[in-house]
Amino acid sequence: MRLAAMACAGLLATPAGAAERAVTLALPALPLDDALVELSRQAGVDILLSSASVGNRRAPSLRGRYTPGQALQLLLADSGLEFESLEGQGYVVRAGRVTKAAALSDPVVLPELLVVGVRTQNVDQRRDPDGIQPYRVFDRATLRAAQGLSADDFLQTWLTSNSDTHEIVPSRGRGLPPSRSNFSFRDPSALSSTLVLVDGRRMPAVPGIAQLAQADVGPIPLAAIGRIETLGASSGALYGLGAVNGVVNLVIDRNYRGAEVAATVGSGKHGDGGYGRLDARLGYSTADGATALMVRYGQKRFNGVTFGDRNQAAAPLDGAQMKPGQAYNRPPGNGVTLFGLNGPFTVGGVEMLKTYIPADYDGSTPIETVLIANAGRSAPGLAPAHRDGLLTTDSRTDAVLVNLRQRLWRGAEAYFDHIYLASHDAAPLAYGALSTQLTPGQGIATMLSGSSPVELVAPLPYVFGTSDSRLISRRTTVGLVFDLPARWRGGLDYAVGDVRFRQVTQEVGFDEQARPSIASGVAPADGRRAPNPFGDQTQFLADLGQYQSNWAEPAPYGSSRLEDISLRASGPLARLRGRDVTLSLTAQQLWESLPNFPGEPRNHVSMRSRSLFGELRAPLEGLTGVPGLEVQAAARRQVGRIRIFYGGPAGPVEKTADLYLLGTKAEPAPGLTLRMAYASGAQLPEPVMFMSAVGAGISSLIDPKRNPTQPISAEGWFRHAWGGSPDLRPDQMRTYSAGMVLTPRRLPRSRLSVDYTRIEGRDLLVQVYRGYDFYLQNEDRFPGTVIRAPLSEADRAKGYTAGRILEVRDLNENTGSSLIEAVDIAADHDLDLGSGRLAFSAALTWQPTLRRRAPPDNIVSKRTQDGATPEWRGALGARWSNDRIAASATMRYVDAYAVTSLPARTTVDLSFAWKLPAPLDAPQTELRLGVRNLLDRWSLEDPLQRRVEATLIARF
């Protein structure tokens, strides 16, 4: 036996009970005996172990706040070893009380569900940031310290490969509803190419018009998540169709006993835009751990910010900058504006191009005097309806998570898991301005003279109303995990879920008599007053209100459904020089459907896929002599069937994808790991890409293969088909990655990783519309697009070389390509400082290349413009903490976004946490204070600017 951390044992005498105090740990991936020595030093406890029993096992990286017992449990998981507390005087590590073969074996790398079923229902393997593929992994301690509002909010700061640069504030235009989460790795338009998982399983997709959009996980509280695993690369072999640009896996934390309540309040610097968050959880388990139940509830609220509250937003829309002809797409000023459309008009002998009537004009002053006084100017400011419009929505999200686990017998456990997520967004709507044309000297415009028509712009929107969006997402999972012979484990699970989405838009506009009544000054026969724009403005607006009518009908709700059944098995396949070669196998059937979606209640879309998946992990160090050499290989065969019941092919369309992963890593020098991988990904065509239409075409072109003296129309109509094609193939992507991980022995609490990623797209789906005349002129370039009748003998006698045109096909195709190149850098280091620990974290992404190409002769020529993402994105953080206090600072940088002219911006967040003193038997209370956007940076994405927030947490 030897004593770990021998050099510091005398300095760190551990009193009874101190061993169970949580401490901040930062352990890189090390040989297990070195990891235990480092744990002993950082936690200040004695750990007795036998080098012979530990052998050449390796330990995973471990960062966060843990008690020594919790840390040992994680380091020794599935190692065949166990530990025992020496009554507060330290720990002893020894071989577990299992069979001799199992006690002497090395760890078997299995999916997390199959290894630790009592702690999690994650069906994916526990991914390691030091593994073969360049994962970014964020553990529970990191997530808690971040004080983020959601996983979306956290990853927008720390995951620099996430090209969705929006803030978490629910802004209009982000999606339906605005509060939904958005993950788009490498490419801002790659939402459909970034797969979002919860516990390794898919969530039901958000329904759209004949398409299934990315699942919404925005309502899930960040406090409910124990681990986030991300991969900014293709990985279809591991995760199936849809894992093209990246994968996000949120692993829910279900290992808790007791009760906890946390409340957060926050506000913008002007006192508006208030927001709040409530998180509560209750965990119970029996004394033997056979039964465990956890219930969690989370709620977030945001109050909207108006244009009138933010000068930066209102100033570019000031009505004084309005020009003639902009009434339909620009907000009016706070008053009636007159424009000369073709030249100046005259008022009281004064010539002018524009003038306005103030909103407070009451008719007591001659109107000519007012118009002359304001000659050359438009009504300034914003009309009230536009000033009260929301930059952000009034938003609320709710989440309910329920989990029940029951041990059935030794080696078998059943579980029930339910996720309920709801979001509600509401905002007023206002578009453009009501306008009409006046003729000088006629109707209401008797005081005007001149030859130019005059445009009158009223301070009322052309259309206004309200928008109310509601989204409910649910998933229920039942499963069983069980032991199999030969140290294998199995699992069977069934998940069913659905999404219901409804957006009710109430739009109010003006009827057909509004404009003529204003221009003529003549009241309609129904008894309504004719609005007089040159009189009292309050009365003018009141009279205009009589001409309003409802425009938009409530849209039908949209819905989607999900069914997912999987059978899994995992275990050792063989042994190579004392190390296990492991194999994980999965058979899965996934069914997604759109039984109803807005705009087409008659339609129904379904997508069913079946897949077989295998992942092999082989440690080859003992065979080759190369230190740390490991190979990972995976393959998946996935067959998808798409059926569209209206507007698509007559029968189901079946598509197949074969997906692969091959990677390796080695440790040529102590603390240096080199890794590389090749992975493929594929995406089924969205149902909308299969939807087609047919019409009649007629052309005035000359057919060079027939009569050169008459147009094609002389032979009559032909059939024109456009839109979807049953011959479309899945998008094909492939990723090459290479990088290094440095964990220097002389700096044991440091880590640096540098990874290059290249994602190539080929045979990408392109939505086409070239027009039938294009194909008639380029028939030989596009064989099969112009369908002709057989050449008859009579045609040959006339010298014709082809039959009459019957059909022209203008169909979607697989002719696109793409290229993404990026370098990701991540670094961590911590050191002892004073009575606590100072930790640094940094992340940087350089993405010089983003190209998506389609044929230039296509009207829809590009799905994404070149350079449509910031080239540089970075984050830097520092955190000092001890047992009671924690203080942190985070800085985020986003490079200039040239395509949308967004400037480079840097935001800084500060936070402080203090555990309030309390007796041992009293509830533990923690107070957190934060300042977000300390530098008060303005953007439409985050109009709250600087804001402060406070959180109070009580644990029972």
What is residue 445's predicted lDDT score, i.e. its pLDDT? 93
What is residue 121's predicted lDDT score, i.e. its pLDDT? 77
Confidence band of 555 (pLDDT split at 50, 70, 90): low
Confidence band of 701 (pLDDT split at 50, 70, 90): very high
pLDDT for 253 beyond 90: no
* Cβ partners under 8 Å of residue 627, min gap 6: 621, 666, 667, 668
Structure tokens at 955: 């644990």
pLDDT for 897 beyond 70: no
What is residue 114's predicted lDDT score, i.e. its pLDDT? 47
Asked if 585 and 545 count as a contact pair (C-beta separation under 8 A), the reply is no
CB atoms within 10 A of CB 839: 23
Supply the mean pLDDT for the chain: 84
What is residue 942's predicted lDDT score, i.e. its pLDDT? 76
What is residue 101's predicted lDDT score, i.e. its pLDDT? 34
What is residue 51's predicted lDDT score, i.e. its pLDDT? 53
Asked if 433 and 409 count as a contact pair (C-beta separation under 8 A), the reply is no
pLDDT for 10 beyond 60: no
Confidence band of 8 (pLDDT split at 50, 70, 90): very low
pLDDT for 154 beyond 70: yes
Asked if 603 and 208 count as a contact pair (C-beta separation under 8 A), the reply is no
Asked if 475 and 419 count as a contact pair (C-beta separation under 8 A), the reply is yes
* Cβ partners under 8 Å of residue 474, min gap 6: 204, 418, 419, 420, 421, 497, 498, 499
Greatest Cα-to-Cα distance within the chain, rounded to the nearest angstrom: 109
Confidence band of 116 (pLDDT split at 50, 70, 90): very low
Q: How far apart are CA 339 and CA 328, in angstroms?
A: 14
Confidence band of 863 (pLDDT split at 50, 70, 90): very low
Please indicate whether residue 883 or residue 198 has the higher confidence score (pLDDT).
198
What is residue 201's predicted lDDT score, i.e. its pLDDT? 92
Q: Identify which of 465, 401, 473, 464 has the alpha carbon closest to the alpha carbon of residue 177.
A: 473
* Cβ partners under 8 Å of residue 389, min gap 6: 306, 307, 427, 428, 429, 430
What is residue 689's predicted lDDT score, i.e. its pLDDT? 78
Q: Work out the percent of the chain whose per-residue pLDDT is above 90.
A: 42
pLDDT for 11 beyond 50: no
Q: Range with the lowest mean pLDDT among 130-139, 177-186, 437-446?
A: 177-186
pLDDT for 789 beyond 70: yes
Q: Identify which of 243, 213, 232, 217 has the alpha carbon closest to the alpha carbon of residue 151.
A: 217
pLDDT for 104 beyond 70: no
pLDDT for 102 beyond 50: no
Confidence band of 678 (pLDDT split at 50, 70, 90): very high
Which conformational region is residue 926 in: left (phi greater than 0), alpha (psi within -120 to 50 degrees), or beta?
beta
pLDDT for 622 beyond 50: yes
Confidence band of 117 (pLDDT split at 50, 70, 90): very low
Please indicate whether residue 556 or residue 450 has the higher confidence score (pLDDT).
450
Q: pLDDT tens digits for 390-411? A: 888 889 999 999 999 998 988 8
What is residue 417's predicted lDDT score, i.e. its pLDDT? 95
Strand ranges of the sheet holding 194-198, from the earlier edge strand across to the other edge: 136-139, 225-231, 246-252, 194-198, 201-202
Q: What mean pLDDT is predicted for residues 616-641?
A: 89
Q: Range with the lowest mean pLDDT among 26-40, 124-138, 468-482, 926-940?
A: 26-40
Q: How far apart are CA 393 and CA 387, in angstroms?
A: 14
What is residue 25's predicted lDDT score, i.e. its pLDDT? 76
Confidence band of 866 (pLDDT split at 50, 70, 90): very low
Confidence band of 19 (pLDDT split at 50, 70, 90): very low
pLDDT for 735 beyond 80: yes
Q: What is the DSSP string of 51-76?
A: HHHHTT-EE--EEEEE-HHHHHHHHT
The segment with the largest mean pLDDT, out of 37-41, 74-78, 245-249, 604-608, is: 245-249
Q: pLDDT tens digits for 446-482? A: 999 999 999 999 999 989 888 888 999 999 999 998 8
Confidence band of 366 (pLDDT split at 50, 70, 90): very high
Q: What mean pLDDT is predicted for residues 633-655?
A: 79
Please indicate whether residue 807 or residue 576 has the higher confidence score (pLDDT).
807
Confidence band of 747 (pLDDT split at 50, 70, 90): confident
* Cβ partners under 8 Å of residue 729, min gap 6: 655, 685, 763, 814
The segment with the largest mean pLDDT, out of 94-108, 373-387, 685-699, is: 373-387
pLDDT for 696 beyond 50: yes
* Cβ partners under 8 Å of residue 853, min gap 6: 816, 817, 818, 862
Q: At what angle do helices 32-43 and 68-75 cross, to 10 degrees?
A: 170
The H or E element spanning position 499 is: strand 488-510
Confidence band of 326 (pLDDT split at 50, 70, 90): very high
What is residue 915's predicted lDDT score, i.e. its pLDDT? 87
Q: Range with the lowest mean pLDDT among 122-136, 703-717, 776-790, 857-871?
A: 857-871
Mode of pairing for the β-strands spanning 206-207 and 201-202: unpaired
The segment with the largest mean pLDDT, out of 78-82, 384-388, 457-461, is: 457-461
Q: Identify which of 185, 150, 186 has the alpha carbon closest to the alpha carbon of residue 168.
A: 150
What is residue 158's predicted lDDT score, i.e. its pLDDT? 84
